[in-house]
Structure 1
C-alpha cells in the first residue's frame, strides 16, 4: 500500500489517500475506510517526466499525485519505461537534443514554413485576393491616404511609361493596376496589394525627382512582390510562425509573453526581408529587358537612403526591410555582373 495526495475536482480541497493496484484496477482507500476502484482504461495518466511525481486524473473524482516507483510506473505506462523517460535518462540523448533541437527549429522557420507558405499561397482564389486588396486599400484611403495632388498630365506621363514596362515584361497572368495617392503619414513609398494593385505616393515620385527611369525600377520591384505572391505568403508565414512559437513556448510563464511578441516580430521580419530581396532581384533581372539598368535601382535606393539617414536600425533583425546600404550594394554588384 502506497500513499499519495488526491486533489478534488472543482476546488482546492485535498486529502491523503492510500492506493495499490490489483490487475487492471487502481484501488484508492481513504482514511475513513472508503474505497474507490477504477480500471486502468478509465484513467487519464500524465506522461512520466524524470523523477517528478506521477499525476493520474480520475475523471469524476480528481487528480491523484503520487511518488514514482518502478513497479507503479510500469503498471501506469504498461512498459518498462516510456520513450521520453528513456531519452531523458541517457546523457547521449540529452547531448544530442542540445544540438538537434535548435537545428530542428531553425529548419522549421528557415525552410519548412516558407516552403509551405509558398505553396499554400498559390491556392488562394483570385476573388479572395481581390476582396482583401479592396478592403485594405479602402481602409488605407480612410485612415492614411488621400487623393493624389499630381496633375493629370503628370499622372498620364508616368502611367504611360508604366504601361509600356508592364507590356514588355510579359505579365499576362497578372493584373497590374497602378494608382496614385498622397500621404504625409506614410511618406515616400510604393506598395503592392495581392490582386496586382500597386500604389505610388506623390512623395516617392517627388523624392525621385520625377525621374522616370528610377520610377520604372521601383515599379519592377513592386511587380516582383505581386509576381511572387508575397502578400498572401506573408499572411501564411505570419500565421504559421505564431502557431509554431506558441506550440514550442506557449506553456511557459506569462512573465515572458513580451518575449514571444518580440520573437514573432523577428521571425516575421525575417520573412519580410526575404521577400524584399526576392522583389529586388526580380527588378534587377528585368531592368535590362525594358531598356533600364540596375544602376537605376541603385540610384532609387540612394535617394531613399537620404531620407532614412541615421534612422535606419543597426539591428536589422528588428526591421521588416533589409539594410538600405546592402540593397544598394546588391544592385551595384549586379551591374558589375552584367
Structure 2
C-alpha cells in the first residue's frame, strides 16, 4: 500500500479535546502526525475499526486505545475498508432499496402485529397454568371493580332466578360450576353489557338484566356467547397479544420502560373488550351450538340478537350508551344472518 496523507482531526479517548493532524498510511501501519511533525499515535491497520460510512458523513477511524481520527474530507473512504463495510454503504446509498424499505418495513410491522403475534398467542395459551389464569382474572376484576363497577341493585329474587338458570345450563353442558361463576354489577361505564374474564367469571350488568327481563332467551344467548369466549381462551389470547405487541413496539422504538406498563395495559384491554371479529364469530358459533344442545334452535340466537337490536334502537333515541354491548361486536345483521344460515355439523 503506497504511502499517503489524510488531513483531519484526532479526538483523544473519552474527550472532546482534539488536535489537527495528518494520518499517514504505510503498508500495514497507520501513523498520526501533528502539524509540528510530532507523532501522536502509531498502530497497525488491523487494530483499527472503521465506522460504517454514510453519504455526507466522514468515515471515522477508531483506535484500540479509544481515540478516533475524523478526516476533513467527508467523502474520503479508507483504502483498506472491508468489503462488508463497502456493501453496507452501497445498500445505504441505494435509492430503490430505500424506497423499498419505506414500503416493506411498515408492512412487516403490520404482519408481525396483526398476523404473527395473534398466531403466537394461540399457541401460548397452553403455556399458562390454571393458577396463572385464575390470578390474572381476579386481578383484572379488582381493577375493573375499582374503576367501572358498583354493587348490584337487582332484587335477590331476580338474581336467584338467573343464577338457577345459569347453573342448570352449566349442568346440561357439563361445564364446571366452580370455574364458571356469574356476577351482577351496576355500571354507568358499561351500561347494558356482559363480558367474560379469562378465568371463567362472567359479569352481567343490572342494565342488561332489566333491559332483557322479558327476553330470557336473549339473555341465555348472551351468556352462552360469553362462555364461548372463555372456552376458546379469547381473554388469554387478547392479553398475550397486548403483552407481545407492547414488547415488540418497545424494542423497535427503544422505549423499554413501556414494558413495565404491560400489566396495566392488559387490564385496560379487558375494559375495552377489543376481541377480533374472528373471536366474536367463534363465540357466536359456540353459543348457537350450545343452544341446539340445550334443545333450542339456531334461530333462537338470531331472534335474540334481533330483539336486542330492536330494543337498543328504541332506547338509543333516548340514551346512546345502550349501544355499548353491540358496539363491541360485529354488526347485528351479520350475526343474525350467520345464525339463521348455520347448519349443525
**TM-score normalised by the shorter chain: which range applies?**
0.7 to 0.9
Matched-pair contact (CA < 8 Å) for 1:298–1:331: no
Matched, 1:69 2:76: yes
Q: Which blocks of at least 5 consecutive residues in structure 2 are unaligned?
A: 256-267
The structural deviation recorded for 1:69 is 3.3
Matched-pair contact (CA < 8 Å) for 1:6–1:15: yes
Matched-pair contact (CA < 8 Å) for 1:51–1:68: yes
Higher Cα radius of gyration: 2
Matched, 1:118 2:156: no
Provide Cα deviations, 1:7-26, integer angstroms capped at 9, x if missing partner.
55666555444335556655
Provide Cα deviations, 1:43-79, integer angstroms capped at 9, x if missing partner.
5654344453334555754555443434x1x634x21
Matched-pair contact (CA < 8 Å) for 2:193–2:325: no
Provide Cα deviations, 1:307-334, integer angstroms capped at 9, x if missing partner.
666969xxxxxxx998568420221211
Match of 1:328 in 2: 332
Distance 1:30 1:162 in 2: 89
Matched-pair contact (CA < 8 Å) for 2:228–2:286: yes
The structural deviation recorded for 1:41 is 6.6
- Secondary structure of the residue aligned to 2:203 is strand
Distance 1:307 1:60 in 2: 77
Matched-pair contact (CA < 8 Å) for 2:148–2:190: yes
Matched, 1:218 2:222: yes
Give the alignment's TM-score, normalised by structure 2: 0.72
Give the alignment's TM-score, normalised by structure 1: 0.73
Matched-pair contact (CA < 8 Å) for 1:284–1:331: no
Distance 1:330 1:126 in 2: 35
Matched-pair contact (CA < 8 Å) for 1:181–1:200: yes
Distance 2:64 2:314 in 1: 67
Matched-pair contact (CA < 8 Å) for 1:24–1:39: yes
Matched, 1:87 2:91: yes
Match of 2:262 in 1: none
Distance 2:196 2:329 in 1: 23
Alignment of structure 1 residues 140-289 onto 2, 5 Å:
140-171=144-175, 175-209=179-213, 211-250=215-254, 272-274=275-277, 275-289=279-293
Matched-pair contact (CA < 8 Å) for 1:295–1:335: no
Distance 1:12 1:306 in 2: 73
Distance 1:130 1:88 in 2: 50
Provide Cα deviations, 1:248-307, integer angstroms capped at 9, x if missing partner.
4459xxxxxxxxxxxxx99xx896434445434443454433314233134335545666
Distance 1:187 1:294 in 2: 22
The structural deviation recorded for 1:237 is 1.5
Distance 1:174 1:118 in 2: 25
- Secondary structure of the residue aligned to 1:293 is helix
Matched, 1:36 2:41: yes
Matched, 1:300 2:308: yes
The structural deviation recorded for 1:88 is 3.7
Matched-pair contact (CA < 8 Å) for 2:152–2:184: yes
Match of 2:263 in 1: none
Distance 1:162 1:93 in 2: 60
Number of aligned positions between the proteins = 313
Distance 1:105 1:153 in 2: 53
The structural deviation recorded for 1:232 is 2.3
The structural deviation recorded for 1:2 is 1.8
Matched-pair contact (CA < 8 Å) for 2:221–2:291: yes
Matched, 1:134 2:138: yes
Structure 1 residues 249, 161: CA separation in 2 closer, same or farther (over 3 Å shift)? same
